Copies of this chain bind each other. A is one copy, B any other.
C-alpha cells in the first residue's frame, strides 16, 4: 500500500454499516473487521517491530519521555497562556467541567494555535502515525484536557470510534489518538486507563442520539456509553492498565480502544494534549445517526 493510494471506502450508510450502534434495544459485541496496523514493513526510525506488534495486540503504545523537558516547557507555557486567555471566554471550543465553571477542554488547538499546530505536525509523531495507519493522515480532532488537581472529574469508559462513527460518520477504524502528557502522570492523579485488547471488539451501545448531543456530551457523556456487562467482559479478557510516566510521555491508542479515567482529588493537575489522526482514506461521511454533522472544531471535514 502506498501513501498515495486513493480511498475505496464509501460514505457510511445505515444499511451496510459494519459497526452499528445506538440502533438496537440491547448491547452487542461486534468483532472488528478492520486492521489495527495497516503497514507492517517498518518505514521509519522511531518505533521498531516489537513496538508495532505490541500496539497491534494491545491497541496502545506508551512512549516514555518521548519529548524532552525543554520542549514540554514550551508547550506548558502555551497551555498556561491559553488557559488564561480562555478563562472567561464563551466560545464553543472551550468546554467546562460538569457542574462547574472550570475549563475541562479546549478543542481545535491544532487549528487555532501556532504552537500546537506545530506539535501536531511533529515529524517523529507523523512518522509513527503514518506507519500504523499506512497512509497519509490528517488531524481529525485536537484538544487540550485540563484535569485540575482536587476537582478533576472522571471520564467514563468509551470507545472514541463509537462516537466518531455514529455522530461524525467516520467510516472505518483507521484512526488513532496521541495523548501527550504535559505533567507527570502517576497512579493517584486520575491517569488515563485503557483496557488492553478491547480495540478488537466494537461495543454496540444502546440509546438514540439526541440532536446537538455534543453540547452536553463533551462535558459528560450520556449516549454512546457502553453497558456494564460488555465492560466486564472486556476487562476480564484484558485487565486495566494505566500507563504513567513523566511529562513528555506519549500514549498512542487505537480509535476503538476502551478507555477512561477516574477523578483526581490529588493536588497535582493532569493536563495533556490529545491529537487524533485519521487516514486520508477514511474521511468522514454522513453521520450514521442521520443527524447533521458535528461542528468542524470537533470533527474536521477539511482534510
Contact = CB atoms under 8 A, between A and B. Distances in A.
A263 B266 contact: no
A53 interface: no
Interface stretch (A116-124, A185-193, A202-210): A185-193
Contacts of A264: 262
Size category of the binding interface on chain A: 20 to 34
A228 interface: yes
Nearest to A187: B187
A184 to B, nearest CB: 13
B265 A156 contact: yes
Contacts of A150: 228, 231
A164 interface: no
Interface string A230-267: 01100100001010000000000000000011111111
A41 B263 CA distance: 42
A263 to B, nearest CB: 4
A262 B260 contact: no
A185 to B, nearest CB: 12
A102 interface: no
A93 interface: no
A138 interface: no
Interface in A191-234: 193, 228, 231-232
User: Nearest 10 A-B pairs (CB), nearest first?
Assistant: A263-B263, A187-B187, A262-B262, A154-B263, A232-B267, A262-B263, A188-B240, A235-B267, A260-B265, A154-B265
